[in-house]
């Protein structure tokens, strides 16, 4: 630092404590960046890079942005995965000689950014923290800083399982210790997730936040709270006690399955449209939209809780006029959770408090409507609503009806709230009128028609009388202030009394108003918990109203749950596909899984609807377990604990994994974690490798699921040879999606029927895709050739009838010593207790032995 100016030395001292962040250093009306920060920021933000003199031969790189428009620049940096430290002047420059004291007042990170054009208020923005537990498990804590909503869960699985959960929650930043930072750096970087290290422990008492969390999981939560406290440097009173997510009460859906089922994000374009969330979102509040998305992410797995939601939806469907009244009132309720967060962190504006007041005004009507309803569950909702009367009373008294966005513009505090402020406002707003009235009165009193009241910066306000009229003035009451060539200037006690008030009214009024506003805002912190509890109840009501609206509009039915494993859906429909097409054209399908036969092997041509059928079953389960009616004529469902899907295929270019490897990894994850109460959906397993490899893998997986797991399973395939498995696996049944030929063309019936498909219709699908006619004719010719060769090979392979002695002789001639060893080993293998990977290893060893014999 030697040789640098005092200001640059100050900058370097602050920067040394925040090496991992861009330092926005406040200088007057600008935030300035220097050295490396300036070079990098100028490129990212596309702003001019300048320089300033330095002690050495090289100039100091420099760039800056106006403080009043800095938010957009900060958002750009954070959105691209950077941290920004805001360094403000903490002393009044007018009261200090020399360098003004500056301190970092806030660090904005990808996980703690709460406002901005790219921040979707309808979505939770979680920042997470991870602690590794004994046995290789993980504790995962996550917090939405804007709403104060925090959760802790135990992740039972490997690193892939952990990362899948983090991705499913949409986290942009995760806090870890140094050990996990080394272990997870590469994996997180490939997925665009920032890893931040927290070294210290929170000095605050966090028992009220983590009292309900098991002791082994608390460290993850306290580490997260410590990081947020250190970066935000403000009160965090709005953070609610963290909720412990118990695995047995939630339906677990990993990130792959959420993506495959398009629950909240479309595979095609990454947007909301075309998802289950898009279908169900008839919410009218931002907090309701967030809760709906969270319910979809974590459906219930508790039968009593599911049925309670469904019963409430039933009552809302029946109470049509009440439903309309409630939704109309809720439309006027702002985002109470985020408003509470801004109040807690001291960033709420006058407009925010006005929105809170306007929202609270609507609550008594909502409570009354529910209380007077004829439905018991809706009356119960009424008892859970706190109208926050004290908070409303304070806001009604203090906050103006339409305050400006900026607190320092004035007009935030209501007239009549503070007598002194009213005087300032009266003086400021009515000063000229008062002076005009005083001038009129003095003219009447003295009879001097040319008397006037004037003002200058040196003498302030004065009464000016020409020298020819001085004899008419009441000189006992007038005090001479200035003498001019042809006039005298006076001041009266009355004018002198008002002068300071008039001159300083606006500035002093704004200053007093800001003090009054911050006092009211701080007082509102007392009611944060009440407001958050109210928000929780209203957001739940909003989601259930949305369910009832969608269910009635789309003719959904109430599902029935039971304690077994059987699943029966009559005339089921894919809810999203149905919405996107004409309802009358949609072909419904049945799905029946019984206790004795809970695996379906689905065959049929491409484009016939196999994947759609599988997805619609999973979506029906998800909809039912979040408490919504379902798209079918009748649904009898078990309570499902996990859903695993292997539908579709895409290379993971970030980690260098091929389609087939991703298919195998996702399949392994499902098989390793599924229970008998899970739902498994496998679509054309093994298509990414050779025919026999793929067929062997598919069969081995089905056998393992059937014999070892027992989960409800839908398994589609193009390997028609596998349809014979229904003879070996007692709980497996064949179904197919029907198609027919008409005038040389294939017609997809989209109807699921019993039995296996008789052919694949692949060439017909190619015809539909528009491939050239000569190419298709050649394909048909080749197909006939291949099929005739296969039949010939089958006939040649058929054994002739042999006598016992002939057979014995044939066996002795055919089987070598190596083959006898293989056959002997095969007879000793316990197939029922073998994993798919072990089966493949055995097959590989036998193949090598046979090849070595031929060689």
Q: Which residues are annotated as a binding site for ATP?
A: 604-611
Q: Treating both helix axes as pointing N-terminal to C-terminal, what angle do 659-673 and 691-704 enclose, rounded to 10 degrees?
A: 10
CA distances from 117 to 44, 123, 655 (A): 18, 13, 31
Sorted by sequence, the CB contacts under 8 Å of residue 127 that are 6+ apart come out as 109, 110, 111, 112, 142, 143, 145, 171, 172, 173, 174, 175, 224, 227, 228
Sorted by sequence, the CB contacts under 8 Å of residue 350 that are 6+ apart come out as 399, 400, 403, 404, 405, 407, 411, 412, 517
Q: Are 566 and 595 in contact (CB under 8 A)?
A: yes
Q: In what helix (H) or strand (E) does residue 745 lie, and over which residues does it extend? A: strand 745-754
Catalogue the long-range contacts made by 9-13 (C-beta closer than 8 Å, 24 or more residues apart). 10/99, 10/102
80, 83, 87, 88 alpha-carbon torsion, rounded to 10°: 60
Q: Are 255 and 168 in contact (CB under 8 A)?
A: yes
Q: How far apart are CA 617 and CA 681, in angstroms?
A: 9
Q: How far apart are CA 553 and CA 563, in angstroms?
A: 30
CA distances from 836 to 91, 306, 732, 770, 830 (A): 70, 36, 18, 39, 12
DSSP β-ladder status, 149-155 and 138-144: antiparallel
DSSP state at residue 708 = I
- Count of beta carbons in the 10 Å neighbourhood of residue 803: 8
- Which of 411, 418, 323, 403 has its CA nearest to residue 356? 403
Sorted by sequence, the CB contacts under 8 Å of residue 100 that are 6+ apart come out as 89, 90, 91, 93
Q: How far apart are CA 280 and CA 292, in angstroms?
A: 8
Distance of CA 548 to the CA centre of its chain: 23
Binding-site residues, in ranges, read 604-611
Q: Are 306 and 627 in contact (CB under 8 A)?
A: yes
Q: Which residue has the tokens 């003004």?
A: 100
- Count of beta carbons in the 10 Å neighbourhood of residue 428: 20
SS3 percent helix, strand, coil of the chain, rounded to 5, is 50, 20, 30
Rg (CA), the chain: 38
Query: Which tokens go with 375?
Result: 């439905």
Q: Are 181 and 195 in contact (CB under 8 A)?
A: yes
- Which of 602, 618, 535 has its CA nearest to residue 257? 618
First to last CA, the chain: 76
CA distances from 602 to 256, 669, 709, 763 (A): 22, 22, 19, 20
- Count of beta carbons in the 10 Å neighbourhood of residue 564: 12
DSSP β-ladder status, 173-176 and 126-132: parallel
Query: Which tokens go with 308?
Result: 């309670």
Q: How far apart are CA 131 and CA 154, in angstroms?
A: 10
DSSP state at residue 300 = B
Residue 647, classed as helix, strand or coil, is coil
Query: Which tokens go with 283?
Result: 């919410």
Q: How far apart are CA 604 and CA 752, in angstroms?
A: 9
The upper half-sphere exposure of residue 57, i.e. CA atoms within 13 Å in the direction of its Cβ, equals 0
């Amino acid at each position: 630092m030697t040789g640098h100016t005092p200001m640059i030395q100050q900058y370097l001292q602050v920067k040394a404590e925040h090496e991992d962040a861009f330092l926005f250093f406040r200088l007057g009306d600008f935030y300035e960046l220097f050295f490396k920060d300036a070079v990098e920021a100028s490129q990212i933000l596309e702003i001019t890079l300048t320089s300033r003199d330095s002690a050495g031969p090289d100039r100091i790189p420099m760039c800056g942005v106006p403080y009043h428009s800095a938010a957009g620049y900060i958002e750009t940096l954070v959105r691209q995965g950077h941290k920004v430290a805001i360094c403000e002047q903490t002393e009044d420059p007018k009261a200090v000689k020399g360098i003004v004291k500056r301190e970092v007042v806030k660090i904005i990170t990808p996980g703690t950014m709460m406002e901005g054009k790219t921040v979707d208020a309808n979505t939770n923005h979680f920042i997470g923290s991870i602690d590794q537990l004994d046995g290789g498990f993980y504790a995962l804590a996550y917090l939405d800083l804007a709403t104060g909503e925090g959760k802790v869960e135990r992740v039972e699985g490997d690193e892939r399982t952990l990362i899948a959960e983090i991705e499913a929650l949409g986290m942009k930043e995760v806090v870890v210790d140094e050990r996990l930072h080394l272990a997870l750096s590469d994996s997180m970087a490939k997925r665009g997730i920032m890893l931040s290290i927290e070294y210290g422990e929170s000095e605050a008492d966090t028992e009220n936040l983590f009292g309900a969390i098991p002791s082994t999981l608390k460290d993850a939560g306290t580490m997260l709270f410590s990081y947020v406290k250190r970066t935000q440097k403000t009160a965090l009173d709005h953070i609610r006690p963290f909720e412990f997510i118990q695995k047995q009460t939630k339906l677990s859906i990993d990130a792959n399955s959420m993506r495959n089922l398009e629950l909240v994000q479309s595979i095609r374009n990454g947007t909301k449209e075309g998802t289950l969330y898009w279908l169900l979102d008839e919410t009218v509040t931002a907090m309701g939209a967030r809760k709906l998305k969270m319910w979809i992410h974590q459906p219930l797995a508790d039968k009593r809780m599911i049925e309670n939601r469904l019963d409430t939806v039933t009552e809302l469907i029946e109470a049509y006029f009440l439903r309309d009244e409630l939704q109309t009132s809720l439309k006027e309720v702002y985002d109470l959770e985020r408003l509470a967060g801004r109040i807690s962190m001291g960033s709420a504006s006058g407009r925010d408090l006005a929105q809170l007041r306007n929202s609270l005004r609507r609550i008594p009507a909502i409570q009354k409507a529910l209380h007077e309803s004829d439905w018991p569950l809706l009356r119960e909702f009424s008892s859970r609503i706190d109208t926050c009367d004290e908070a409303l009373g304070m806001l009604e008294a203090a906050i103006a009806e339409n305050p400006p966005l900026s607190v320092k513009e004035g007009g935030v505090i209501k007239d009549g709230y503070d007598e002194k402020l009213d005087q300032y406002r009266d003086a400021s707003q009515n000063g000229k009128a008062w002076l005009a009235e005083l001038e009129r009165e003095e003219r009447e009193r003295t009879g001097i028609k040319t008397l006037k009241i004037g003002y200058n910066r040196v003498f302030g306000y004065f009464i000016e009388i020409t020298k020819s009229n001085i004899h008419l003035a009441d000189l006992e009451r007038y005090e001479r202030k200035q003498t001019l060539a042809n006039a005298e200037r006076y001041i009266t006690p009355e004018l002198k009394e008002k002068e300071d008030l008039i001159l300083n009214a606006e500035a002093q009024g704004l200053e007093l108003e800001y003090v009054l506003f911050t006092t009211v805002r701080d007082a509102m912190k007392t009611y944060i918990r009440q407001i958050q509890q109210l928000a929780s109840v209203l957001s739940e009501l909003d989601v259930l109203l949305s369910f009832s609206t969608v269910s009635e509009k789309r003719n959904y039915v109430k599902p029935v749950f039971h304690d077994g494993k059987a699943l029966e859906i009559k005339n089921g429909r894919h809810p999203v596909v149905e919405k996107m097409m004409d309802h009358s054209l949609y072909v419904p399908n049945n799905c029946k899984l019984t206790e004795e036969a809970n695996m379906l092997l689905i065959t049929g041509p491409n484009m016939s609807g196999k994947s759609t059928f599988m997805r619609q079953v999973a979506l029906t389960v998800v909809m039912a377990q979040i408490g919504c009616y379902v798209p079918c004529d009748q649904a009898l469902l078990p309570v499902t604990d996990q859903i695993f899907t292997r539908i579709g295929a895409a290379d993971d270019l970030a980690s260098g994994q091929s389609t087939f490897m991703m298919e195998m990894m996702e399949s392994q994850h499902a098989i390793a974690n599924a229970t008998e109460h899970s739902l498994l959906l496998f679509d054309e397993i093994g298509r990414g490798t050779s025919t026999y490899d793929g067929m062997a893998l598919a069969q081995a997986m089905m056998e393992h699921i059937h014999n070892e797991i027992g989960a409800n399973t839908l398994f589609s395939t193009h390997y028609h040879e596998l349809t014979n498995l229904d003879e070996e696996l007692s709980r497996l049944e064949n179904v197919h999606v029907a198609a027919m030929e008409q005038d040389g063309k294939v017609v997809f019936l989209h109807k699921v029927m019993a039995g296996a498909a008789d052919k694949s219709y692949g060439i017909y699908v190619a015809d539909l895709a528009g491939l050239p006619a000569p190419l298709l004719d050649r394909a048909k010719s080749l197909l006939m050739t291949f099929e005739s060769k296969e039949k010939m090979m089958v006939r040649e392979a058929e054994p002739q009838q042999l006598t016992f002695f002939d057979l014995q002789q044939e066996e002795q001639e055919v089987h070598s010593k190596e083959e006898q060893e293989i056959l002997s080993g095969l007879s000793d293998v316990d197939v029922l207790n073998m994993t798919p990977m072990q089966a493949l290893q055995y097959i590989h060893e036998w193949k090598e032995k046979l090849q070595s014999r031929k060689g």
